[in-house]
Structure 1
Amino acid sequence: MIELVGLIAGLCTTIAFLPQALKCWRSRSTGDISLTMFLIFAAGVCLWLAYGLAIGDLPLVLANGVTLFLVLSILWMKVRYG
């Protein structure tokens, strides 16, 4: 049951970035996105992913792996489209 709660929590926090990533991709506009915030957030997600891998926690690994992909996608668009 605890693992299920972790998976659902990870799903919710991960898919929260999907609308932003899609909006950036469709509009090719990232002017209102803070580069500093996303860089700090990406560093935190990397650390959570490393922590999840170290303790073998599947919900942490899955959620932070996908979140990192989405955040790095947004950062790439931020750099590319400004």
Structure 2
Amino acid sequence: MQIEAHQVEWIGYLAAFLTTCAFVPQAVQSWRTRDLSGISLGMYSLFTLGVGLWLVYGLIIEKWPLILANATTFALALSILVLKLRYLRK
């Protein structure tokens, strides 16, 4: 069975959509409750940096599934990281 290039692209879009959607509930809960006690600062810092690098990689190779998913996830992760840093200092 041979997979066509456009089918591979759609697999990428579906994977990007699902993994990004999986991240949304954590972001919404963090924004609503402002309770980030269960969030590791180190892990979220590394995760946000990693997603940012995936975004850069997607931009370099010009692959839209990577760009869209990682731009969205980077924005969500960065907002949680900023909240964590804000409430860590209080």
Q: TM-score, normalised by structure 2?
A: 0.86
Kindly state the Cα deviation for residue 26 of structure 1 after the two structures are TM-superposed.
1.0
Whichever residue aligns with residue 4 of structure 1, its letter is W
Superposed CA RMSD: 0.8
Partner SS, residue 30 of structure 1: coil
User: Deviations 1:4-40 (Å, cap 9, x if unpaired)?
Assistant: 1101100111111110111111111101100100110
Q: Which has the larger radius of gyration?
A: 2
Correspondent of 1:41 among 47, 54, 62: 47
Gapped regions of structure 1 (runs ≥ 5): none
Kindly state the Cα deviation for residue 80 of structure 1 after the two structures are TM-superposed.
1.7
Correspondent of 2:36 among 30, 35, 54: 30
CA distance in 2, matches of 1:16, 1:81: 24
Structure 1 match to 2:77:
71
Whichever residue aligns with residue 49 of structure 1, its letter is L
Identity between Structure 1 and Structure 2 (%): 50
Whichever residue aligns with residue 36 of structure 2, its letter is T
Q: TM-score, normalised by structure 1?
A: 0.94
Q: Which protein has greater RCO, CA pairs closer than 8 Å, 6+ apart?
A: 1
